[in-house]
Amino acid sequence: MRPCLLSFLLLSPTSAALAQPVAALQPMAFLAGHCWKGEFPGGTQTDEHCFQWLYGGQMLRDVHTVRSPGKPDYVGETTYYHDAAAGTVAFLYVENSGGYSRGTMRPADGGLDFPATQYVGASGKALTYRVRWTPSDGAYEAHSEIQSGERWLPQFKLLLKKQ
């Protein structure tokens, strides 16, 4: 019992929030140790992201859950890490229906930019998307666009508030 309790204490959100992130992940530090939740237009579907430092700040985990009435939860997990060889922050996203995505994040004036990358569904079909997160007081706005031919189309814009 004692080793389990010790593991729980070492991995608790409180201690994880106190981790000192590697320099490359510092722009994402405001997210760590918190859950952030937003409602899609119509107010019936929610999106929640819970962030936690891993390995003493070497990586950042984002557990992501979209809830819709009458449907199973859509759940995904993103791990952000410093890719020293490429000199950037990279991520791997996997989700419960078999899809995945790999990409990068770069700090930008007033926010975090996730340049164009591909989401590959379980069927193998790919979708190219890009995202920008803009922090504000106790919240951040996520603005996602998808590529259609040569054009970028809005996918969603969502305000996620600290819980």
Residue 43: pLDDT over 80? yes
Give the pLDDT band of residue 19 (cuts 50, 70, 90). Answer: confident
Give the pLDDT band of residue 17 (cuts 50, 70, 90). Answer: low
- Beta-bridge partners for 30: none
Give the Cα-Cα-Cα angle 22, 34, 32 (nearest 5 degrees).
5
pLDDT of residue 113: 98
Residue 95 is encoded by which pair of tokens?
A: 């989700």
Average pLDDT for 9-22: 60
In whole angstroms, how far apart are CA 70 and each of 1, 55, 85? 38, 37, 45
DSSP label at 67? E
Q: What is the pTM of this model?
A: 0.88
In order of start, what are the domains of the chain with their CATH numbers? 2-162 (2.40.128.20)
User: pLDDT tens digits for 107-143?
Assistant: 999 999 999 999 999 999 999 999 999 999 999 999 9
3-class SS string, 88-148: EEEEEEEECCCCEEEEEEEEECCEEEEEEEEEECCCCCEEEEEEEEEEECCEEEEEEEEEE
User: pLDDT tens digits for 56-102?
Assistant: 999 999 999 999 999 999 999 999 999 999 999 999 999 999 999 99
